[in-house]
Amino acid sequence: MHDLIKQLDNFHNSTIHFNQVTYIMKSINFSYFWGDTILASLAPLLDRIGSNVKPMQHAVIELASAAGQTLPCPECMSTKPRHYLAVHMQSYGPKGELHVNQFPRPNHGDVSSMMWSSGIGRVEPRWISAFLRSVANRPYSRFSWNCQHFAYELLSFLGEKCREESGQEACPPKDLESVLPLQVFLGWKKYITFSISLSILVFITLLAFKGVAGAYRRFFFLKVMVHEDQRSLTNPLVESK
pLDDT, averaged across the chain? 77
Query: Letter for the amino acid at 183?
Result: Q
Residues 6+ apart with CB under 8 A from 132: 1, 4, 5, 8, 94
Residue 145 has pLDDT above 80, yes or no: yes
Distance, CA of 212 to CA of 226 (rounded, Å): 21
Full-model pTM: 0.69
Give me the residue spans of the domains in the chain.
Answer: 2-183, 187-241
The string of pLDDT tens digits covering residues 150-201 is 999 999 999 999 888 877 777 888 888 777 776 666 655 555 555 666 677 7
pLDDT at 61: 93
What are the angstrom distances between the C-alpha of 235 and each of 88, 214, 222, 228, 229?
70, 31, 20, 10, 10
The string of pLDDT tens digits covering residues 70-106 is 888 777 766 778 888 999 998 889 999 888 877 665 4
**Terminal-residue alpha carbon distance, the chain:** 71
Strands 18-26 and 112-117, how do they pair? Answer: antiparallel
213: pLDDT confidence band, cut at 50, 70 and 90? low
Q: What is the DSSP string of 163-200?
A: HHHT--TTSPPS-GGGTSPP-TTSTTHHHHHHHHHHHH
Residue 116 has pLDDT above 70, yes or no: yes
